Amino acid sequence: MSDSELTYPILRNELTRRVFQYTFSGPLLLVWSIGLLTFLIMFERPLFALIWSGAMVTLGFMMAADHLRTPKVHERLIRSIIQKRFPALELTDGSFQSAVEQGINAFTETTLKVYQCEKQQDPDAHLRRLIPLTHNMVTLLRESIREAQELERGLNLAKGSTAEGEFLQTGKPGEVPSKRQESMDDIRREVEQAGFSVKEIVQHLETLMLKVFQVKQLPGDPVRNSELVREAEEMVTRLTCQIESRRADRYVSPEVQQTRESLEAGFSEINSSDGLSALQRLVYEYAQLQPLLDRKRASDSIGVVHITASVGETYRLGLSLLHDGLELMRAVRPSERRRLEAELPELEEKIEAARAVQSQGERVKLMQETMDSHLERLDIMQKQRLRVEKLLHLSGHCEASLHRTRMELAALRAADSELNVTEATESLRRTIDQAKEIQEELKKLGFC
């Protein structure tokens, strides 16, 4: 599969390239060659050969332009382009094979309808954006299917060796079967989650396809098209987070998994897009690092063992920083801050009005105390907001360090592996030390 996502400009260029490649080959090329050889060899008329060539080029451009206007040509070529980007997977499960076919068919139909809308109606940037979004959905679909199939294969292998494992076990009675069963149950849950993601992605692809069909029948509504793109973007983001979270959870303890889940639920509960985005980026970088570390560990287990530990510590520290930030966010409710800010002008007006009346001295004093309390609380909230931003910033440092480590490991060569691993480990250690130092300072002040 191509690494780059399919976009409208890429699709348009690929269609044009294929149409011209097809037009200026085959029958037209044969006719041009016969005429060229006839004029040059038999009649020795190079001028006629040049005129003949010009006529064939003109005819070729006319044929290509006609092909580019033909819907059936669009459909055949778009299917071919998408099939090339998503070659067949070797799947043993018939339901997964059916899901892949449904997803690719929905992507093809969506792309075809968007392309036809662009040709028949006014250009719409929102509709064009649907092509790469749908491409990403199909990519996530295939990743979920590969993940589920690989986990199922491991589960079947584990089941097949259960009897042998019972004979070979050593240590306390029941200890190995208990841990083994827990691992198998965890894998089974992951398979179920991946299978659910597959069904969900297929449903959303087909729903999106139907909505694009409606756009083609009822054109000229940019608001509706914008909303359609927004829904697709949110769906791709959510599905990506689900996949990366499952991948990250595989390499951490149940306690760390629970921390990530509680953070995700907490940020969603208070509608903190900044906190949720910081968490998603951190989880993504950690999850992306794991397959790379597995490959490096197979060739250089000694050199990578230290960096693996540092990566895990960086991830846990990032989650800890976000947890501290979440607790502060819960204490500083935006609705409460807005209420205090809205009441201040009203209090000022009441105080000014009451001061004009001599008998209202006691009431003025009470309202002034209330106003001073509001200002004090707003000042504390502002300081806590700054501390929240600091914690999110430090979590971003952890995410950036994981990203740098991933890039450095990807470029790692056997000749300089020891040096690069040492540098990457030291970089992670500096990030950890810096973040821990500031976190401890905030804890001493009683804010974490």
Q: What digits encode the pLDDT tens for the residues 398-422? A: 888 888 888 877 776 544 555 566 6
- Report the SS3 class of residue 16: helix
On whether both 96 and 79 belong to a single domain, the answer is no
On whether both 225 and 363 belong to a single domain, the answer is no
Triad 198, 295, 395: Cα angle to 5°: 70
Residue 8 CA to its chain's centroid (Å): 20
The domain of 32 spans 1-84
Q: Which residue has the tokens 């921390």?
A: 259
Question: b/e map of 3-17 (b: 16 or more CB within 10 Å)?
Answer: eeebebebbeebbee
Name, in order, each residue with C-beta under 8 angstroms of 347's C-beta and a sequence gap of 6 or more. Answer: 367, 370, 371, 374
Task: Mark which of 198, 218, 250 sits at the end of a domain.
Answer: 250
**What per-residue confidence (pLDDT) applies to 344?**
83
- pLDDT tops 90 at residue 366: no
Question: Residues 275, 267: contact at Cβ < 8 Å?
Answer: yes
On whether both 235 and 307 belong to a single domain, the answer is no
**What per-residue confidence (pLDDT) applies to 262?**
93
Q: Which residue has the tokens 């001493």?
A: 444
**Residue 72 falls inside a structural domain:** yes
d(CA 184, CA 410): 31
Question: Residues 270, 330: contact at Cβ < 8 Å?
Answer: yes
Q: How many domains does the chain have?
A: 3
**Residue 265 falls inside a structural domain:** no
Better-predicted residue by pLDDT, 86 or 299: 86
Query: Which long-range contacts does 437-440 make (Cβ < 8 Å, 24+ apart)?
Result: 438/390, 438/394, 439/320, 439/321, 439/324, 439/391, 439/394
**What per-residue confidence (pLDDT) applies to 279?**
93
Select, from the ranges 18-32, 199-213, 216-230, the one with the highest average predicted confidence (pLDDT). Answer: 199-213
Of the listed ranges 73-87, 410-424, 428-442, the least confidently predicted one is 410-424
> What confidence category does residue 198 fall into, taking pLDDT thresholds of 50, 70 and 90?
confident
User: pLDDT above 90 covers what percent of the chain?
Assistant: 8
pLDDT digits (tens, 9 = 90+) for 114-155: 888 887 766 677 888 889 999 999 998 988 888 888 878 777
**Residue 258 falls inside a structural domain:** no
Q: For residue 296, give the nearest of 417, 415, 400, 401 by alpha carbon.
A: 417
Question: Residues 20, 68: contact at Cβ < 8 Å?
Answer: no
Q: Which residue has the tokens 């821990």?
A: 436
**What per-residue confidence (pLDDT) applies to 1?**
41
> What confidence category does residue 2 fall into, taking pLDDT thresholds of 50, 70 and 90?
very low
Task: Mark which of 250, 265, 293 sits at the end of a domain.
Answer: 250
Q: What's the chain's average pLDDT? A: 80
On whether both 305 and 388 belong to a single domain, the answer is yes
Triad 376, 380, 381: Cα angle to 5°: 115
**What per-residue confidence (pLDDT) applies to 436?**
67
Mean pLDDT within 55-64: 88
Q: Which residue has the tokens 């929905």?
A: 106
Mean pLDDT within 303-328: 84
**What per-residue confidence (pLDDT) applies to 419?**
54
On whether both 383 and 323 belong to a single domain, the answer is yes
- pLDDT tops 80 at residue 443: no
On whether both 307 and 439 belong to a single domain, the answer is yes
On whether both 21 and 146 belong to a single domain, the answer is no
On whether both 201 and 278 belong to a single domain, the answer is no
On whether both 240 and 371 belong to a single domain, the answer is no
Biggest distance spanned by C-alpha atoms of the chain: 121
The encoded tokens of residue 238 equal 């959510």
Name, in order, each residue with C-beta under 8 angstroms of 94's C-beta and a sequence gap of 6 or more. Answer: none
d(CA 379, CA 368): 16
On whether both 80 and 90 belong to a single domain, the answer is no
How many residues does this entry show for the chain? 448
Task: Mark which of 84, 109, 143 sits at the end of a domain.
Answer: 84
On whether both 60 and 143 belong to a single domain, the answer is no
Name, in order, each residue with C-beta under 8 angstroms of 264's C-beta and a sequence gap of 6 or more. Answer: 245, 276, 279
pLDDT digits (tens, 9 = 90+) for 150-191: 878 777 776 665 544 544 444 444 444 566 677 777 777 777
**Residue 220 falls inside a structural domain:** yes
Q: For residue 279, give the nearest of 399, 377, 383 by alpha carbon.
A: 399
On whether both 106 and 14 belong to a single domain, the answer is no
d(CA 339, CA 347): 12
Question: b/e map of 202-241 (b: 16 or more CB within 10 Å)?
Answer: bebbbebbebbeebeeeeeeeeebeebbeebeebbeebbb
**Residue 256 falls inside a structural domain:** no
Over its C-alpha atoms, the chain yields an Rg (Å, rounded) of: 32
**Residue 221 falls inside a structural domain:** yes
Mean pLDDT within 261-278: 90
- For CA atoms 200, 205, 206, 210, the dihedral sign is positive
Phi, psi of 429 (to 5 degrees): -65, -40
**What per-residue confidence (pLDDT) applies to 298?**
65
